[in-house]
Structure 1
């Protein structure tokens, strides 16, 4: 069983107010997406050898926005249900889940910089495997507090399974090294990504 650790948990206000709970992951995810330069991220994505079933890059933004909103709603619902429950076990599970939720959000937000900015596919894959495990456990924990909250996390968990496959598959197909996927043009001010399908 996990433990409620206040120092590793987002403030109560984030969980108690639906707008704050939903907007925090959406805004944080969007900020990370834009900080990793979307155009370059798409170019890198298209340049890498990838396993079958990779979606087009335009799919990720809408999917992640929906999943961030759903995880925020699940957080609000599970936490407030636990706080208002007369069952002490549900309160403890809601609080334990809040710590897990905070940890999973941090793991989620560092994946993109690891994979695209730092070009560290091994570390990114370890991160997403850990993230999937934490979200699986969180789904179980919060599902005991509020069934709707648990089910609301299921699409996120399913997408993470698929994303883990893409992360590990892309790392493997590129020999766990993304550094050779760029070629500098001219004075080096512009970066051209190599599309390996054309080679």
Structure 2
């Protein structure tokens, strides 16, 4: 099914075989990306024009920690479910490839949006991420219902995050560079 993605199996199979490693890996990688862009993220988040329904900045860390844990556990369950002698909808290689692809797309979003300050590029990334995760969620339900349900909150949050990304891009005219935000802040103070 996803043979053309087989080169994306960047995560060792031992990670998928262990429930603890499957959970800890995405949490650790997500925290690493978060901490590496924390200063830029905080200052940019405070300066950009925000859409309605935006959550407080403090919500993102706990939500992503839970979602990363759920996605890791789902990957473990799907990997184990596809290890039997009976043919399944996905192979272990498919699970590893799709999961690796979605995790990679997930981890580059924050550097694209907050690091490079490219909301349009980040929107393209998150749209691809939603598409891959829509397919992955559907596929997980075919091999392990618990794994599928573990991805549902993640897919819901990604949909909400897509709204936030698009709305921030639109409200800030797709430019959240330092120079543009500084000029905008001066204009807003005058009004």
Deviation of 1:59 after TM superposition, in Å, equals 0.4
- 2:128 maps to 1:130: yes
Aligned mate of 1:157, from 147, 155, 178: 155
Match of 1:32 in 2: 33
1:40 and 1:95 map into 2 onto residues whose CA distance is 37
- Measured after TM superposition, the shift of residue 46 of structure 1 is 1.9
1:64 corresponds in structure 2 to 64
1:106 aligned to which of 85, 96, 104: 104
Work out the CA distance in 1 between the residues paired with 2:128 and 2:78.
22
Q: Residue 19 of structure 1 aligns with which residue?
A: 20
SS in 2 for 1:59: helix
CA distance in 2, matches of 1:181, 1:57: 18
Q: Which has the higher strand share?
A: 1
Q: Give the whole-Å Cα distance in 2 for the aligned partners of 1:82 and 1:126.
A: 31
- Any stretches of 5+ residues in structure 1 without a counterpart? 184-192
Structure 2, unpaired ranges of 5+? none
| Partners of 1:107 and 1:127 within 8 A in 2 | yes
Which residue does 1:88 correspond to in 2? 87
What is the TM-score normalised by the length of structure 2? Answer: 0.91
Q: Distance in 1 between matches of 2:55 and 2:8?
A: 34
Aligned residue in 1 for 2:175: 177
Higher-helix-fraction structure: 2
Contact 1:125 1:167 in 2 (8 A): yes
**Is the 8 Å Cα contact of residues 97 and 141 (structure 1) preserved in structure 2?**
no
Aligned mates of 1:8, 1:68 — CA distance in 2: 19
1:190 aligned residue: none
- Assess, with a 3 A threshold, how the Cα gap between structure 1 residues 170 and 78 changes in structure 2: closer, same or farther: same
1:140 to 138, 141, 148: 138
Q: Is the 8 A contact 2:6 2:94 kept in 1?
A: no
Distance 1:98 1:195, change over 3 A: farther
Do the aligned partners of 1:77 and 1:146 also contact (CA within 8 Å) in 2?
A: yes
